[in-house]
Amino acid sequence: MVVLLIVVGAFAVVAIALVSVGVVVRRLGPEPARRVFDADEALAFVAAVLPDEVTAQLSYDDVERILRLHLDFLHRQGVARSGGDLPEGEGPLVVDFGDAVEDVLARAALVRFHPEREQVAAVISAQLAYFEAIGAMDEVQGPDLSMGPSGPPLVSATRPPSSDGPEPPMGSRADDAGSEQA
């Protein structure tokens, strides 16, 4: 009888564990894999890919300050998340590059840090390249304008459209009329 209780108890424990793991896997299944941002790795990556003109003017600490200001901007926009933050909506989040540069310049000025616009743009571009390299973001692709609303191509790929209108078939009256005038 004791052996039966032990077997039933063990079976109950295993069943509860499997159900619990299944529930968690089902909940996390649709979420994309989390990309972890490593500040030191990002700084090293950005410093390595910056153009020589920028690295000649900015110190390592200046680059780090710009990176932090840009991360703050991304966090305020809802793009960057901290440990327990959950996304508020579905679909991709898009942030304008120009807005990011302007925000970094404005916030840098508040702490009496005055990098040039081109320097900030170069650092942000390098940081975005780092995000792409770790798989944390994708470059925004424009819509495919070669497809119509229902899917068929708007322009034939076999023959480009002519600006003069459709060509008359060979041996038609238009060809005959042109050859008679010559």
Does 39 reside within a domain? no
Q: Report, as an integer, the average pLDDT of 117-132.
A: 92
Burial bucket for residue 92 (CB in 10 Å: 0-12, 13-18, 19+): exposed
160 in a structural domain:
no
Residue 162 located in a structural domain: no
Q: What is the pTM of this model?
A: 0.58
The answer to whether residue 171 sits within a structural domain is no
Highest mean pLDDT: which of 93-107, 134-148, 156-170? 93-107
Residue owning tokens 């798989």: 135
Query: Is the residue at 139 inside a domain?
Result: no
Q: What is the pLDDT of residues 44-54, one digit of tens each?
A: 999 999 999 99
Domain residues for the domain of 54 are 46-81+94-134
**pLDDT tens-digit map of 52-92:** 999 899 999 999 999 999 999 988 887 776 655 555 666 66
Within a domain: residue 59? yes
Domains in the chain, number: 1
Angle at 92 between CA 122 and CA 151, to 5 degrees: 115
113, part of any domain: yes
Identify whether 130 is part of a domain. Answer: yes
